[in-house]
Structures are given as structure tokens and as C-alpha cells.
């Protein structure tokens, strides 16, 4: 078909979101609803991904809280154990190593 005949047989209707193009007795319909469905599908996919990320973030926050509680518990217990150890050594007459350390040794120990 020539370009002129294509132009003659081609037309477009744009009402109510419907576009129609006739070419070689084939009719192609592209309805705005399809685009709307594609947008809805994309929106749904994005929402599902965001929900999954939110659930993951909430789980990570719970784990972070549990880890912080565990660390706090360990620090508290370590302090208690140091005091018990120190008082046990003192009761046996053994001097606490921390009492006789130089400043450099104490800094090195704490690093």
C-alpha cells in the first residue's frame, strides 16, 4: 500500500480514551483502561515491595533491640563479675592487677 492509501485508511478517534487505527482491514484498539491497568499493576507491585521492605525493617528493628538488650546484659554481668573477682582476690590477699598497672598498661588493656 502506498503512503497516500495508508493515510486514507488511517484514522484516529480519541473519545473516552479509545484510540482506533484502521490499517489493511485490521483494527487496533488501544484503550486507556489498559494503561490504567498497567499503572494499577505497577502500583500494586510497588506497594507489595514496600510492604516487604517495611516488614524486613520492623524485623531488623526488633533484632537490634534484642541485641542491644543482650549487650547491656553482658556489660552489666561483666561489671558484676569484675567486682566479684576483685573482691575475691582481695579476700585471698591477692592484689588487683588494675591497682598496680601503669597508665600505658591500663590504656593498652582497655583497647
DSSP codes joined into one string, 8-24: HH-----BTTEEEEEET
Q: Are 13 and 19 contacting, i.e. CB atoms less than 8 angstroms apart?
A: yes
pLDDT digits (tens, 9 = 90+) for 28-37: 445 555 666 6
Q: Are 23 and 3 contacting, i.e. CB atoms less than 8 angstroms apart?
A: no
pTM of the full predicted structure? 0.42
pLDDT digits (tens, 9 = 90+) for 44-83: 888 889 999 999 999 999 999 999 999 999 888 888 887 7
Neighbours of 42 (CB within 10 A): 10
> 3-state DSSP call for residue 29?
strand
DSSP codes joined into one string, 33-69: HHHHHHHHHHHHHHHHHHHHHHHHHHHHHHHHHHHHH
Neighbours of 86 (CB within 10 A): 16
Cell of 87: 573482691
> 3-state DSSP call for residue 36?
helix
Amino acid at each position: 500500500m502506498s503512503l497516500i492509501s495508508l493515510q486514507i485508511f488511517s484514522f484516529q478517534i480519541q473519545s473516552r480514551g479509545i484510540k482506533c487505527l484502521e490499517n489493511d482491514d485490521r483494527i487496533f484498539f488501544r484503550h486507556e483502561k489498559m494503561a490504567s491497568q498497567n499503572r494499577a499493576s505497577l502500583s500494586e507491585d510497588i506497594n507489595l515491595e514496600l510492604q516487604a521492605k517495611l516488614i524486613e525493617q520492623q524485623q531488623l528493628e526488633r533484632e537490634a533491640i534484642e541485641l542491644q538488650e543482650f549487650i547491656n546484659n553482658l556489660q552489666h554481668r561483666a561489671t558484676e563479675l569484675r567486682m566479684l573477682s576483685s573482691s575475691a582476690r582481695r579476700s585471698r590477699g591477692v592484689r588487683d592487677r588494675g591497682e598496680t598497672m601503669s597508665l600505658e598498661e591500663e590504656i593498652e588493656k582497655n583497647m
